[in-house]
């Protein structure tokens, strides 16, 4: 199954607050179609700027995933998710600035995260894996699946980059030997 992260904007935050569990932060859901503009996330380094544009992402590297349309970071914390009672995954921060609970480790099989590889994201602060199972929301986001954190690595926590902008590393500028 293809899985994509979608950031769902809540028009009426009371709808989210009517769920008995959760933090009240913006929800992150999964969809099977990759052509949804809300499915685009930018890979960024930790707050120390350790991820240069165009540089391949290493397996084991700490990253932040920032939602392109809203500037919020993929985030998790010790709140139960509303449907599965796993760990809630939400979107947090403004303009790509959040906190230490926005940091994930890329787990992959080689040296670098390759475009067509399935990878896992393990949360640094809580040691859960970004996961999606079968729980689906009803109103107001019918058919979208709950994204949550699970404590064990399994088939529910593989993710794949399907489309987007992939920037090749820049070549060293040509050197000139003239004065």
pLDDT tens digits for range 53-67: 778 899 999 999 998
Instruction: Assess contact for 86 and 101: CB atoms under 8 A.
Output: no
Which H or E run includes 17? helix 13-17
pLDDT surpasses 60 at 4: no
Tell which wins on pLDDT, 138 or 30.
30
Tell which wins on pLDDT, 173 or 13.
173
- The angle formed by the CA atoms of residues 98, 22 and 127, to the nearest 5 degrees, is 60
Beta-strand ranges (E) seen in 3-116 are 4-7, 26-31, 41-45, 62-67, 73-80, 87-92, 104-107
Query: Tens of pLDDT along 59-106?
Result: 999 999 998 888 999 999 999 998 899 999 998 998 888 899 999 999
The pLDDT score that the predictor gives to residue 89 is 93
pTM, two decimal places? 0.80
Q: Which residues of 73-96 are buried (b: 16+ CB within 10 A; e: fewer)?
A: bbbbbebebbbbebbbbbbbbeeb
The pLDDT score that the predictor gives to residue 13 is 22
In the chain, the domains with their CATH numbers are 4-157 (2.80.10.50)
CA neighbours within 13 Å on the CB side: how many for 80?
Answer: 7
């Amino acid at each position: 199954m293809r899985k994509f992260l979608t950031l769902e904007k809540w028009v009426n935050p009371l709808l989210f607050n009517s769920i008995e569990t959760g933090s009240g932060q913006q929800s992150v859901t999964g969809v099977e179609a990759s052509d949804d503009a809300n499915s685009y996330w930018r890979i960024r380094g930790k707050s120390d700027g350790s991820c240069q544009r165009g540089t391949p992402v290493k397996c084991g590297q700490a990253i932040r995933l920032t939602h392109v349309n809203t500037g919020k970071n993929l985030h998790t914390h010790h709140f139960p998710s509303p449907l599965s009672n796993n760990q809630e995954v939400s979107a947090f921060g403004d303009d790509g600035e959040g906190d230490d609970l926005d940091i994930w480790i890329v787990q992959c099989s080689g040296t670098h995260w390759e475009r067509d590889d399935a990878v896992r994201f393990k949360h640094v602060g809580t040691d859960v894996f970004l996961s999606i199972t079968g729980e689906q929301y009803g109103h107001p986001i019918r058919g979208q699946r709950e994204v949550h954190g699970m404590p064990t690595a399994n088939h529910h926590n593989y993710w794949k980059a399907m489309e987007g902008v992939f920037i090749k590393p820049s070549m060293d500028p040509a050197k000139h030997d003239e004065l």
